[in-house]
Amino acid sequence: MDPSKIPDAKLKKFIDNSDTLKFASFSLKILLRQLKVHMELHPGHVIEEQCITKLRKHLVKYITLPNVEQDLKNNFKEVN
């Protein structure tokens, strides 16, 4: 799965649903929680886009780690 090709709407759902999803990657879990809290404290389209961009960069950088890749495969089935 190529994280750079994931639509923004799916990444936003991924952030929004992060509390209910299971993760093997601790860094991804922490990042998603931080992004969700940031979006809740500062609602708005600009902040939302910044959070999605930050998540996408994290995924592109760390997709080669087995836990991150497995989390994407497992959780994107649930997000769709």
Query: According to the model, what pLDDT value does residue 33 have?
Result: 94
pLDDT less than 70: residues of the chain: 1, 77-80
pLDDT digits (tens, 9 = 90+) for 58-70: 999 988 888 988 8
Q: Which residues of 26-55 are buried (b: 16+ CB within 10 A; e: fewer)?
A: eebbebbeebbeebeeeeeeeebeebbeeb
User: Are 13 and 76 within 8 A, CB to CB?
Assistant: no
Query: According to the model, what pLDDT value does residue 80 have?
Result: 44
User: Are 38 and 47 within 8 A, CB to CB?
Assistant: yes
Query: According to the model, what pLDDT value does residue 77 have?
Result: 67
**For residue 52, is it left (φ>0), alpha (ψ between -120 and 50) or beta?**
alpha
Predicted TM-score (pTM) of this structure:
0.84
